[in-house]
Chain A
């Protein structure tokens, strides 16, 4: 599903440049649940942003589902993001003045889906994350766990090939984190490819494969026995 070869990325910090990714080679098959681990500054978020086409690599190749991702202009990047990717953020990034239902429906708006159909689809995803009763609530009327569920429903709404989650449990307490991970595992069980960036070991253990990043290179990439989140709740 995802093929990355010799990916480099550096940031200019005033006069000196910071080499963040120093040649990443990495493949993800369809249906995998992968966690990318590493300490702060290891380059894991940068890698995720490049995978999410929110940022561009300096060199190296990136192929998503057979489609080479390079020389993207803003317009094409936006279309690919909309069609192929779903994002889950640490700080949820829901639009504060839109109800849960409208937030979930937003990616469909940018796909050009008509209003009624959009809301029907959004409602079905809200049901899937167990928040059908909260459809009309604004984000600030929801708990952190609920907000993240809405964000997950939104990421799923456009039926993307890959879900990218950046520290999805970073702002949640342990119990809520596990509930969210249970939801993510459930989605993965249905066959969707998911990448999670995290620095928490217990969260990483709940995926099927852990990629360890340090100073911009992969130092370890191994499959693990998945711990089911539900058993820890």
Chain B
């Protein structure tokens, strides 16, 4: 390996056979290049799609109440159940590490909103800061409700985009302006947009604490909304969500003295349908790109093996000459392997560097929602380079070994 004479001999062979070296190198380099780009785009698609669908995918649970339908512990059916702040607070405290986003909501009915001469009736909801993420809303102006607003009962409001367009016809910046909700002044702190469209955007949000206080709701809440932490795959997500909703239902029914089999009084709705589609899609993408990647490696191995076979075939006569001049079989095999490993390694790394550079510099320029931040696991790329080099070496070894065993007279026989 560190025999200088041997290296000289190999460099001479390589430099005198530029075409052969180039073609071998090209097949290895392009194989690695294509593989890394593919894996990178695969990762990018996974990132992109996951950021596109992540919000839908979240395992959202809605908890709302109705009237009891069954008699229980001496209480009549038809009793309205109303959840209280305590229900929410206890649930959150009990499941701190399982919950990702959480909010309870108090809804004000008939929310008439005025701004100067404009007015309209909109849904007004008192919420916690996390509600922005539960609703998949993104801010176009200002900010959403923050914990501080809730703690100090601030009279602030976040308008839906449609509400803003309806009320602020004068084109004024709504931030800092005051609107009246049922004749109470609220300061506008933000405007949001919602992928759900106009219907979703014709709502306004205020801090839940303020809503309960200003509109005499006491501790009442209308519903609660949670998302659970993301899980590795759909099965795990399903399991954790079923467990959570079962426990929560039992807890709430006990607390409000509702019959365990009463389906109407307390209802929990979760959106696992979307989650399943999301997890299936991710699995498909992962599966597809691994499939393509493995096929590419196989194609690369076949390509390198073919080239090695042809090279050894082409060099049979040279091998015969070398043997007649006193080359030992081992030195022949060593020479061919040494050369092929050297060329494939260099070419492999050239392909790797080019593809990584391309991903690094061109990747961020890709402007489609479905590919984000294409990147590749460096170790995976490195391993594929070694697999190809090893494949080249093994593919070169057998013909080299056979060539080294051919008697020189046969190798030298004139065609």
Contacts and interface: CB of A to CB of B under 8 A. Distances in A.
B329 interface: yes
Given A54-B408, A109-B5, A78 B17 contact: no
Interface string A50-89: 0010110000000000000000001100110111000101
Interface string A94-133: 1111100010001101111011000000000000000000
A75 B13 contact: no
Contacts of A94: 321
Given A110-B325, A154-B325, A89 B412 contact: yes
Contact of B326 (A55, A79, A114, A115): A79
Interface string B36-68: 000000000000000000000000000000000
Query: Could you say which interface size class chain B belongs to?
Result: 20 to 34
Contacts of A109: 5, 9
Contact of B12 (A52, A82, A98): A98
A89 B320 CA distance: 12
B9 A93 contact: no
B294 interface: no
Contact of B8 (A75, A110, A115): A115
A90 interface: yes
B17 A97 contact: yes
Contacts of B405: 74
Given A74-B328, A87-B325, A158-B326, A54 B16 contact: no
A93 B412 contact: yes
Interface in B1-41: 5, 8-9, 12-13, 16-17
B9 to A, nearest CB: 7
A97 B414 CA distance: 19
B286 interface: no
A196 to B, nearest CB: 17
Given A54-B409, A102-B12, A115 B325 contact: no
A91 interface: yes
Interface residues on chain A, size class: 20 to 34
Contacts of B330: 75
B322 interface: yes
A107 B320 CA distance: 13
B284 interface: no
A79 B328 contact: yes
B325 A98 contact: no
B414 to A, nearest CB: 5
B324 A87 contact: yes
A78 B329 CA distance: 8
Interface in B308-346: 317-318, 320-331
A42 interface: no
Contacts of B94: none
A110 B320 CA distance: 14
B321 A93 contact: yes
A158 B324 CA distance: 12
B407 interface: yes
Contacts of B326: 78-79, 81-83, 107, 110-111, 158
A128 to B, nearest CB: 18
Interface string B372-415: 00000000000000000000000000000000010111001010
B409 A107 contact: no
Contact of B13 (A74, A90, A97): A97
A81 B409 CA distance: 13
12 contacts: A55-B407, A74-B328, A78-B323, A78-B327, A78-B329, A81-B326, A82-B327, A93-B317, A96-B318, A97-B16, A97-B17, A110-B327
Interface of A: 49, 52, 54-55, 74-75, 78-79, 81-83, 87, 89-91, 93-98, 102, 106-107, 109-112, 114-115, 154, 158
Those 10 A-B pairs whose CB atoms lie nearest each other, nearest first:
A82-B326, A97-B16, A110-B326, A78-B328, A54-B409, A107-B325, A93-B321, A54-B408, A74-B329, A81-B326
